[in-house]
Amino acid sequence: MTLPLSLPAEPQLPPVVAAAVAGLTGRVVGGPDKPMAQWSEAERERAMVLAPADLSQLTPADRREAEIGADRFAALLRPATVAEILAWLMPINAGVRNVQGEEDLRIASTAIAMLEIPAATLTVAAQRDALRTWQFFPSAADVAKLLEPVAMRWRRQMAACQEVARGAVTTGTPLPNPWPRATPEEARNAAAQVAELKRSLGERPGVAGRPERMTVACPLAPHHLIAAYEQTVARGGEGAERARARLAILRRQHASEARA
């Protein structure tokens, strides 16, 4: 059995249908292929986020195209058979430390088939990724972790196509990045406010002589906080990892508010 070298091309949708599907799946257009928290300022400025908009102008032809797209994604999601999984696993089995016998290999393939992994994801490229990652023969969970992200993306797009085909949905239109960029002066002011907040966390006598922390409210706009945390991450050192985690949370919250 000959395996495909790489993933198949995803269905091409007409622009209005593609915009609807992208809006429903929350896709970011023009951004790099890595978590948003790792984007540089230039990458973030180039990115466009699809925000909800009315799609009352969908024509019957548009809905038919969406239905065709859903069918094509469904074809990509056809579950692999035991034989297809076995053929994909055999070269991997030869490259791990604990080589499995023929019967054990067939049992493992049967277990993996129960996860309904799409046959289209069983590629030579995925084999290479597996051989770089796995020193020992994989469990069904290992295989799912490697291949499921692609399957999940196809399932989301299929579901979005089905929603568009039904007609009563919202779609997205390209909008500027929803995270307003603070000016250099705003960034400096935000950093100064954060520093002042830290200084204001003084000590006062508490129960049994133990100090209590005293906090002072210091309201900041979301994009000011984002700018301050970005500076903390850029400086590195102690607290950078915590700031990076908080920054990712703030960006997600702010993006959700901007789309609301």
Residue boundaries of the structural domains of the chain: 1-177, 184-259
Classified as helix, coil or strand, 153 is helix
d(CA 125, CA 119): 13
The predicted pLDDT at position 175 comes to 37
pTM over the 0.95 mark: no
d(CA 202, CA 12): 60
The predicted pLDDT at position 90 comes to 93
| Residue segments in the chain with a per-residue pLDDT below the cut of 70 | 23, 26-57, 167-183, 186-187, 194, 197-224, 254-260
Residues 6+ apart with CB under 8 A from 118: 76, 77, 78, 79, 80, 147, 150, 151, 154
